[in-house]
Amino acid sequence: MKRLALITLPLTLVLLAVSSYLALVVAPTEATMGDVQRIFYYHVPSAWVGGFCFFINFVASIWYLWKRSPRSDALAAASAEVGVVFCAVLLIEGTLWARPVWGIWWTWDARLTTTLVLWLIYVSYLVLRRFSAGQTQVMAAALAVFAFADVPIVYMSIRWFRTQHPSPVMGGGENSGLAPAMLQVFLVNLALFTVLGILFIWLRYKLETAEQALESAHAQAALKGAA
């Protein structure tokens, strides 16, 4: 595990440097927004990884409820934490981009609001994990099901909420007609972020299972000791 981490971490760092070079220097400057647009190469991949993490969390939680395997709980915990981190990064990037482009830090636009609500939901999941006294795994898995079921409902409700009322958002989706040079850089970043996300989940998962192993070693020692 340690050796693998030693190989993958520098590799990821190198890739990160390359992709940043691509995103910040090689990619052409966008016509209307200027350099600010370059945050897009990080922004969309962050969103993708965040969503991916929450999906993993859901699947792992269902698996836990079904099989009661501590490993799937470790995976659920790991993916929720990484997901919350990427989601937080996403929100921060969003405000950084919005300030120069929209002239405001924050707007209650559908996508922003949905992301914020998602972030709140999964923070509450982590809070439950932290505060539970015994049976954390079952409680957390149950909440994860609620959380994931809420995602489409949140999205629907906020989209309706925001399309019904006029919103101060200027500029539409940046996906409308991406230049080929931009698309290439974007795809590289997307791939890299996916690798990064999986790496984080994997490291966090290893830590979690190591903690579980430690706990059960202590427990087994208690079982054998004083016999």
Partner 1 sequence: MTTLTVTRTTLLKDLRMEWRSKDAINSMLFFALLVVVIFSFAFNPTAEESRMIAGGLIWVAFLFAAVVALNQTWARELRNQVLDAYRVSPAPPNALFLAKAIGNFLFVVVLECLMTPLFVIFYELRSIGPVWQLIVVALLGTWALVVNGTFFAALSIRTRSREIMLPLILFPISIPALLGMVDATTSILTGEATPDFWIKLLAVYDIVFTAICLMLFETVLNAE
Partner 2 sequence: MAGTSEPHPPPVILLDNLVKFFGRFAALRGISASFAPGRLYVVLGDNGAGKSTLLRVVAGLMEPSQGSISLLGAKRIREVAPRIGYMGHAPLLYDELSGMENLRYFAGLYGIPDDEVSRNAMRMVGLDPDLPRRVGQYSQGMRQRLSLARAVLHDPELILLDEPFSNVDVHSARDMAAVLGRVRDQGKTIFVVTHQAALMEDVADEFVHMAAGQIVSRDEVVRKSVNVGSMR
179-218 footprint of partner 2 as x/- string (CB under 8 A): ------------------------------------x--x
Cα angle 129, 138, 205; round to 5: 60
**Which among partner 1, partner 2, none contacts residue 117 (Cβ within 5 to 8 A by kind)?**
partner 1
What is the Rg, in whole angstroms, of the alpha carbon atoms belonging to the chain?
A: 21
Tell me which of 20, 95, 132, 212 binds partner 1, using CB under 8 A. Answer: 132
State in angstroms the smallest separation of the CB of 216 from partner 2.
Answer: 8
Distance CA 215, CA 16 (A): 36
H/E stretch holding 226:
none
> Do residues 119 and 87 touch, judged by C-beta distance below 8 A?
yes
Angstrom distance (rounded) from CA 51 to CA 45: 10
131 binds partner 2 (CB under 8 A): no
Write down the least CB distance from residue 222 to partner 2, Å.
Answer: 4
Residue pair 166/86 in contact by the 8 Å Cβ criterion: no
Residue 219: contacted member of partner 1, partner 2, none (CB under 5 to 8 Å, by partner type): partner 2
Please tell me whether residue 222 binds partner 2 under the rule CB under 8 A: yes
Instruction: Please state the separation of Cα 8 from the chain's center in Å.
Output: 20
How far is the C-alpha of 46 from the C-alpha of 149, rounded, in Å?
A: 21
Using CB under 8 A as the binding rule, whether residue 153 contacts partner 1 is answered as: yes
The footprint of partner 2 (CB under 8 A) covers 134, 215, 218-219, 222-223, 226-227
The footprint of partner 1 (CB under 8 A) covers 65, 117, 120-121, 123-125, 127-128, 131-135, 138-139, 142-143, 145-147, 149-150, 153-154, 156-158, 160-161, 164
